[in-house]
Amino acid sequence: MCGIVAYVGKGHCKDFILEGLTRLEYRGYDSAGFACINSEHKRFSYVKTVGLVSALKESVNKALIDGHVGIGHTRWATHGIANQENAHPHFNCSKSVSIVHNGIIESHEELREKLINSGHDFYSTTDTEVIAHLFGSLLKIHHTLKNAVLDLVSQAAGAYALALLMEDYPDQLIAVRRRSPLVIGIGEGENFIASDVLAFWDKTNKVFFIPDNSFAIINKDSVQCYDFAGNSVPIKIQDVDFKFANTDKQGFEHYMLKEIYEQKKAIDNTISFCRFIGSKDVCLKHIFDPNNKRKECKSNIDSIEYSEEIWQQLGLEIEQLKNLKQINLIAAGTSWHACRIIQFFIETICKIPVHVFLSSEFRYMPFFPKVDTVFIFISQSGETADTLEALRLVNSYNLPTIVVTNVVSSTMVREAGGFLPMQAGPEISVASTKAFSCQISILYWLAHRIALFRGLISLDQMRVAEDDLLVTAEVLESSIETYKWEISQTLAKFYAKFERFIFLGRHISYPFAMEAALKLKEISYIFAQCYPAGELKHGPIALIDKRTPIIMFSVLDDLIYQKLVANAQEVKARNGHLVSFAFEGQNELIKLSDCSFIIPRVKPLLAPLAMTGLMQFFIYQITKELGRPIDKPRNLAKSVTVE
Ligand code: F6R
């Protein structure tokens, strides 16, 4: 959601910025822009376009503009529609300041009024433009850039990341961070700024994460950083390992398809990583150490002895773990669906009660801080604004917080008490696929690891659980292969004709059915509603007709399966069209279905993971039939950094 890329250095900025914006496209946007201090006349040149970065590239290349310092942006509309006026960069009246911005300036209305009263003209309806005008005025009042920025941040309330370019300071850039991610890549004779390290992964692996509530003044050879009180902040440079940063489609038609197929490998990597960090003689720092010793340790996996150091990685004291009475899971969207599945794991395996919260709701509910609890935040990106704010809220009560994420360089990792990184590799398609299956896998592993610690399972059972995950990852992939041809040749065409679907699940397959309904809605734009199958007769049964296929996801628990069969009969008795995701041997359900996918049996708790690949592939193919922009669905953003 919105992306910032900026450059100052010995080279030219245009190609880097445009390429960086392309790499951040996955975050979601609807317009884009570029501005630089033109090498020829030393004044601003800029281009803004509505739509894709490719359109911006074309216009910038036609305009033949370039310079040694520049800023670029992809905008996801919040304040004002997606048009050229509202696209970033924005300028002050005299066009001496140019700015790009992620986030929201909460005080924008009162600032705008003040600025209009003192004679400023506005060209857009954005909250961002007020910052350009305000900063232009502050530069006239203050003698230094530092003081002007300090005054600016004292007036600008909200959560934001800013990159500012000034004609009167043509060798410098300013980067401001307040509750929105912004990083600096340190080069030789050049520096890079971006809202995600992916923008400059091939330029440098030396990264400075601007701390929250701080800003940096950057030129080609130096970076000075200050907090919002004006104190100098030391520049701590980290070496970031970019081994996963290659974001090519590798021959797949869409990122989503590539990522669906990457799941088995991503789960395998995640489990070997967990074994590795959970084992003895491990240097926990390796996560940021590009020369990590992972390979050496991997060879010892069969003789693994689990180490209690894992709890240190998670920021937990042994005593806290022993006394744990409740686990709270907090997330949004697909990650929340994963939490609802994970609840079954923890309650069944660790015998610890779990509360699951939607992060956007949690923040505004009464909060009763309790000792003997831990809060686990699950977020692919580690940046989702609501989840991040929920984390900050819990942190403010000094309770244990853990983040499970795919992005180790994310804000949540830096702010949580501990973290567990998944090894899914970058997920580019807006619709989450491999992150979802890795979230489920890593928490299945952690649930067993907690149970091992509490003496509820043996070492052998721990190893069996790891093997079960690997076997299920195999099933996830092989089931796609089994039905690939039939789905892509006939079934997708048939189901793409329907205008609405109902999804049903029960017990552990209910949150999975919610995830399936979300996947269908977000990428195909087909209306889908999900219910717990047992609720059918309490109202939704009135919706059953031939024009509304019912997609039912089975379970491997015999008792619950029998209940599902009864629900399937209710559907068929009303002439409903039933599609089932069933397991081998579930003949009653298969016979009742108009179409069924039969999946090899796995451990009952892993039933959703086994069905994940096929469910995603089926929905992907339906969407492809409809010709939708699968990787970048309308109105959506990959990283939801505004509330
Ligand atoms: C749907 C999807 C979203 C995200 C949600 C949370 O496919 O990707 O629902 O799951 O925006 O994002 P993260 O996990 O990054 O916190």
Pocket test for ligand 1, best of 380, 422, 623, 639 (most atoms within 8 A of CB): 380
For residues 416-443, one letter each, b for 16 or more C-beta atoms within 10 angstroms of the residue's C-beta and e for the rest, the string is: bbbbbbbbbbbbbbbbbbbbbbbbbbbb
For 118-147, what is the mean pLDDT?
A: 95
For residue 407, the model assigns a pLDDT of 85
Structural contact between residues 551 and 616, judged by C-beta atoms closer than 8 angstroms: no
In this prediction, residue 246 has a pLDDT band, given cuts at 50, 70 and 90, of low
Nearest CA to ligand 1 atom 13: 379
Residues 321, 427: one domain? Answer: yes
Distance from the alpha carbon of residue 331 to the mean position of ligand 1, in angstroms = 8
Pick the most confident of 206-215, 621-630, 632-641. 621-630
Cβ–ligand 1 distance for 381 under 6 Å, the answer yes
Q: Which of 355, 353, 326, 350 is nearest to 340 (CA)?
A: 355
For residue 273, the model assigns a pLDDT of 81
451 Cβ contact partners less than 8 Å away, ≥ 6 residues apart: 349, 350, 351, 457, 462
> In the structure encoding, which two tokens stand for residue 406, read together?
């795919």
Which ligand 1 atom is the nearest neighbour of the CA of 637? 11
pLDDT at 98 over 80: yes
Residues 322, 399: one domain? Answer: yes
Q: Which of 65, 3, 9, 63 is nearest to 36 (CA)?
A: 65
Residues 484, 425: one domain? Answer: no
Residues 197, 311: one domain? Answer: no
Cβ–ligand 1 distance for 380 under 6 Å, the answer yes
Residue ranges making up the domain that contains 184: 3-244
For residues 580-614, one letter each, b for 16 or more C-beta atoms within 10 angstroms of the residue's C-beta and e for the rest, the string is: bbbbeebebbbebbeebbbbeebbbbbbbbbbbbb
Nearest CA to ligand 1 atom 16: 379
For residue 288, the model assigns a pLDDT of 34
- Percentage, residues of the chain above pLDDT 90: 76
Distance from the alpha carbon of residue 378 to the mean position of ligand 1, in angstroms = 10
Quote the CA–CA distance of 479 and 86 in Å, as a whole number: 46
421 Cβ contact partners less than 8 Å away, ≥ 6 residues apart: 273, 287, 404, 405, 406, 408, 413
Distance from the alpha carbon of residue 10 to the mean position of ligand 1, in angstroms = 38
For residue 228, the model assigns a pLDDT of 96
pLDDT at 356 over 70: yes
Cβ–ligand 1 distance for 335 under 6 Å, the answer yes
Q: Which of 527, 535, 531 is nearest to 510 (CA)?
A: 531
- Is 207 among the domain residues? yes
The residues carrying an active-site annotation are 2, 638
Strand pairing of 158-166 and 206-209? unpaired
Distance from the alpha carbon of residue 327 to the mean position of ligand 1, in angstroms = 21
Distance from the alpha carbon of residue 356 to the mean position of ligand 1, in angstroms = 16
Residues 237, 284: one domain? Answer: no
Cβ–ligand 1 distance for 379 under 6 Å, the answer yes
Q: Which of 326, 415, 329 is nearest to 370 (CA)?
A: 326
Distance from the alpha carbon of residue 334 to the mean position of ligand 1, in angstroms = 5
Strand-by-strand arrangement of the 190-194 sheet: 44-50, 31-38, 67-75, 3-9, 190-194, 183-186, 206-209, 238-239
Which ligand 1 atom is the nearest neighbour of the CA of 435? 14
Residues 570, 428: one domain? Answer: no
Structural contact between residues 606 and 615, judged by C-beta atoms closer than 8 angstroms: no
- Is 641 among the domain residues? no
pLDDT at 574 over 50: yes
For residue 103, the model assigns a pLDDT of 84
290 Cβ contact partners less than 8 Å away, ≥ 6 residues apart: 205, 239, 240, 241
Q: Which of 202, 315, 601, 270 is nearest to 444 (CA)?
A: 270
DSSP string of 189-241?
SEEEEESSGGGGTTT-SEEEEPPTTEEEEE-SS-EEEEETTS-EE----EE--
Domain boundary among 244, 267, 293: 244
Q: Which of 581, 578, 556 is nearest to 482 (CA)?
A: 581
Cβ–ligand 1 distance for 439 under 6 Å, the answer no
In this prediction, residue 284 has a pLDDT band, given cuts at 50, 70 and 90, of very low
Distance from the alpha carbon of residue 308 to the mean position of ligand 1, in angstroms = 31
For residue 295, the model assigns a pLDDT of 36
Over its C-alpha atoms, the chain yields an Rg (Å, rounded) of 26
- Is 463 among the domain residues? no
> In the structure encoding, which two tokens stand for residue 331, read together?
């997330």
- Is 472 among the domain residues? no
pLDDT at 425 over 80: yes
The domain spanning residue 277 has which CATH number?
A: 3.40.50.10490
Residues 173, 81: one domain? Answer: yes
Cβ–ligand 1 distance for 411 under 6 Å, the answer no
Distance from the alpha carbon of residue 324 to the mean position of ligand 1, in angstroms = 28
The domain spanning residue 155 has which CATH number?
A: 3.60.20.10
pLDDT at 179 over 80: no
Structural contact between residues 300 and 282, judged by C-beta atoms closer than 8 angstroms: no
Domain boundary among 244, 270, 290: 244
For residue 245, the model assigns a pLDDT of 58
Cis peptide before 600 (omega within 30 of 0): no
For 469-491, what is the mean pLDDT?
A: 95
Quote the CA–CA distance of 628 and 621 in Å, as a whole number: 11
For 175-189, what is the mean pLDDT?
A: 90
For 152-162, what is the mean pLDDT?
A: 92
- Is 569 among the domain residues? yes
Nearest CA to ligand 1 atom 7: 431
Opening angle at CA 556, ends 550 and 560, nearest 5: 70
> In the structure encoding, which two tokens stand for residue 148, read together?
């002007």
- Is 163 among the domain residues? yes
Nearest CA to ligand 1 atom 5: 333
Quote the CA–CA distance of 171 and 180 in Å, as a whole number: 25
- Is 473 among the domain residues? no
Number of domains present in the structure of the chain: 3
Cβ–ligand 1 distance for 333 under 6 Å, the answer yes
Using DSSP's 3-state secondary structure scheme, residue 331 falls into strand
Average per-residue pLDDT for the chain? 91
Cβ–ligand 1 distance for 640 under 6 Å, the answer yes
> In the structure encoding, which two tokens stand for residue 263, read together?
């799941």
pLDDT at 244 over 60: no
Cβ–ligand 1 distance for 247 under 6 Å, the answer no
Structural contact between residues 31 and 52, judged by C-beta atoms closer than 8 angstroms: no
Which ligand 1 atom is the nearest neighbour of the CA of 384? 16
Helix axes 333-345, 509-524, angle to 10 degrees: 170
Residues 496, 447: one domain? Answer: no
Structural contact between residues 342 and 513, judged by C-beta atoms closer than 8 angstroms: no
Which ligand 1 atom is the nearest neighbour of the CA of 332? 6
Residues 325, 199: one domain? Answer: no
Distance from the alpha carbon of residue 379 to the mean position of ligand 1, in angstroms = 7
Distance from the alpha carbon of residue 332 to the mean position of ligand 1, in angstroms = 6
Pocket test for ligand 1, best of 255, 340, 381 (most atoms within 8 A of CB): 381
Nearest CA to ligand 1 atom 9: 333
Q: Which of 172, 167, 174 is nearest to 37 (CA)?
A: 167
179 Cβ contact partners less than 8 Å away, ≥ 6 residues apart: 103, 159, 160, 212, 213, 385, 388
pLDDT at 303 over 60: no
Cβ–ligand 1 distance for 410 under 6 Å, the answer no
Nearest CA to ligand 1 atom 3: 333
Cβ–ligand 1 distance for 386 under 6 Å, the answer no
pLDDT at 309 over 80: no
- Is 339 among the domain residues? yes
252 Cβ contact partners less than 8 Å away, ≥ 6 residues apart: 258, 261
Residues 84, 196: one domain? Answer: yes
Nearest CA to ligand 1 atom 10: 334
In this prediction, residue 423 has a pLDDT band, given cuts at 50, 70 and 90, of confident
* Cα dihedral sign, 174-179-181-186: positive
E strand or H helix that includes residue 558:
helix 558-572
Cβ–ligand 1 distance for 124 under 6 Å, the answer no
Residues 332, 306: one domain? Answer: yes
Residues 106, 152: one domain? Answer: yes
